Amino acid sequence: MSTLRQTIEAHAHEFAAAIVQALRGASLDELVSITGGQATAPRAPRAKTNGATTAAPEVAKKVSKKAGRLGRRSADDIARTLEQIVAVLAKHPEGLRAEQIKAALNLDTREVPRPLAEGLNSGALTKSGQKRATTYFAGGGKKRAKK
């Protein structure tokens, strides 16, 4: 049995060496044509979505409601979401908690923290309270809680 294993390993080694030699002798144009025009390594497939859309209806990106990473959002996407949050908070002078904002805009839980942080940093939003009791306000609705 060991001779069979040795024979298979020898053939596999010869095959691999022949493939490497063929690749070294090929031109870049040949390699690109074989890979279907992709000059770079192919990307990993994206996670499948269930058809839920992001908060910005003009952006036709899909967001998965399943476990996993949220799709990459551009700065414009985050700014649009922040504008929507500010608009909702402007209608509620008493302020809203993050989960209320999420429900009002039909956002995924993972979509909320980044726009809220951007809004707090830019001064578009203020907050009071801590953790789940944090209430967000549009603009200068209440004084910002001390850190």
Is residue 40 scored above 70 in pLDDT?
Answer: no
**For residue 44, pLDDT beyond 90:** no
Residue 49 CB burial class (10 angstroms; 0-12, 13-18, ≥19): middle
Q: Give the pLDDT mean for 90-116.
A: 93
CATH (residue range 75-138): 1.10.10.10
Model pLDDT for residues 45-76, shown as the tens digit of each residue: 666 655 554 444 444 444 445 567 878 889 99
| 98-105 helix and 75-90 helix, angle to the nearest 10 degrees | 100
